[in-house]
Amino acid sequence: MSEFNLIKKYFTRLTRQTSLGVGDDAALISISNGMDLAISADMLVAGTHFFADADAYLLGWKSLAVNISDMAAMGANPKWATLAIALPEVNEAWLAEFSCGFFACATDFNVDLIGGDTTRGPLTISVQIMGEVPTGQAIKRSGAKVGDDIWVSGNLGSAALGLAHLQGKIVLENDALQASIHALHKPAPRAALGLALRGIANSCIDVSDGLLADLGHILQASNIGAALALETLPCHDFLRIHLNKPAFQQYVLAGGDDYELCFTAPKSKRKTIYSISHQLNLPLTIIGETHASTGLEVTYLKQKIKITKKGFNHFD
């Protein structure tokens, strides 16, 4: 099967908001008046980001989901994506599953797949996502102010826990196992939350490498510091009962792959944010506060704790 037939069969579907989709030298889109275009790209490599024998459907889902998460972090409405993929061979069963998962996510989040590339090589997936945000309303990493509350959505650490189980480092059962594996394989990007935070959050980032690493980017870009109380971090009960152990602290603070939003906002916005939490049926938790002196301090039951690894770094 040629790459053209492959694209036609597995990666071409009707679009909802695109002038010209897959099939020409480029796609064409029209940006709404008063909107900026937000653009983000991610590359996932077999052996680095996922196991080579990962479930193809879930991989397809996650490839797009992690990019939608970057849109959420900017307060942008995700609308279009391109997909460039290198395949070691044409495995139609695999492609069918992968594209199903990808389009399941695209449908859920109203994203059109508008272009990309298909080539031969070690399994590598490169997605670019594009979304709209009103000019001036994008939520940047550099906007955090001294005295802001630091918030995080959902739970942290579950995906890392799931990965540890699959690697044989720990043994999970029942609900903890199910929740962790689901968090690892099928993260739900917080797109609606991102939109709701426009004009409310001063800064925002999605937690992908790990809370400390990602919050660290906000602090660095905004030139401020923060103090976190570990016991306030939202996490699955299984993690909570083990939170006195450094290994489990590591999952929550630096496990990564959470795809929750970490954002800062003025204290005056608390009521509004709790209202958003209620409307979206999504837990939003205050985990700390920003302060003027730079640096990130983490305590557990008022004892300062030392973190060895802030988060995932490809070239460490």
Shortest distance, position 307 Cβ to a second copy, whole Å: 16
- Binder among 120, 169, 267, 278 for a second copy (CB under 8 A): 120
From candidates 122, 147, 246, 283, binder to a second copy by CB under 8 A:
122
**3-state secondary structure at position 261:** strand
* Separation CA 134–CA 315 (nearest Å): 36
Nearer to a second copy, 139 or 239 (CB): 139
Span 276-305, contacts to a second copy by CB under 8 A: none
Site for a second copy in 131-150 (CB under 8 A): 131, 133, 135, 138, 140-142
Distance CA 289, CA 284 (A): 15
Provide the 8-state DSSP code for 308: S
Asked whether position 126 contacts a second copy by CB under 8 A, the answer is yes
Q: How many CB atoms sit inside 10 A of residue 72's CB? A: 28
Contact predicate 225/296, CB 8 Å: yes
Burial of 193 per CB tally in 10 Å (0-12, 13-18, 19+): buried
Let me know: does 189 contact 268? Beta carbons within 8 Å.
Answer: no
**Choice from 59, 114, 161, 184 touching a second copy (CB under 8 A):** 114
Q: In whole angstroms, how close is the CB of 252 to a second copy at the nearest point?
A: 21
CA distance 314 to 117: 25
Residue span 242-271 as binding mask against a second copy, x where in contact by CB under 8 A, dash where not: ------------------------------
The site map against a second copy for 189-228 (x = CB under 8 A) is ---------------xxx--------------x-------
Of 6 and 239, nearer to a second copy (C-beta) is: 6
Site size toward a second copy, by CB under 8 A: 72
CA distance 25 to 6: 17
Measured from the CB atom, is 78 or 154 closer to a second copy? 78
Taking the least distance from each CB to a second copy, the nearer of 36 and 108 is: 36
Select the residue interacting with a second copy from 15, 77, 99, 118 (CB under 8 A): 118
The β-bridge relationship of strands 295-300 and 303-304 is: antiparallel
Task: In whole angstroms, give the CA distance from residue 178 to residue 278.
Answer: 25
In one letter, which amino acid is 255? G
Q: Which of residues 70-89 bind a second copy (CB under 8 A)?
A: 70-71, 73-74, 76, 80, 82-86, 89
Q: Please list every residue from 19 through 48 that binds a second copy, using CB under 8 A.
A: 19-20, 23-31, 36-48
Instruction: Quote the CA–CA distance of 142 and 155 in Å, as a whole number.
Output: 24
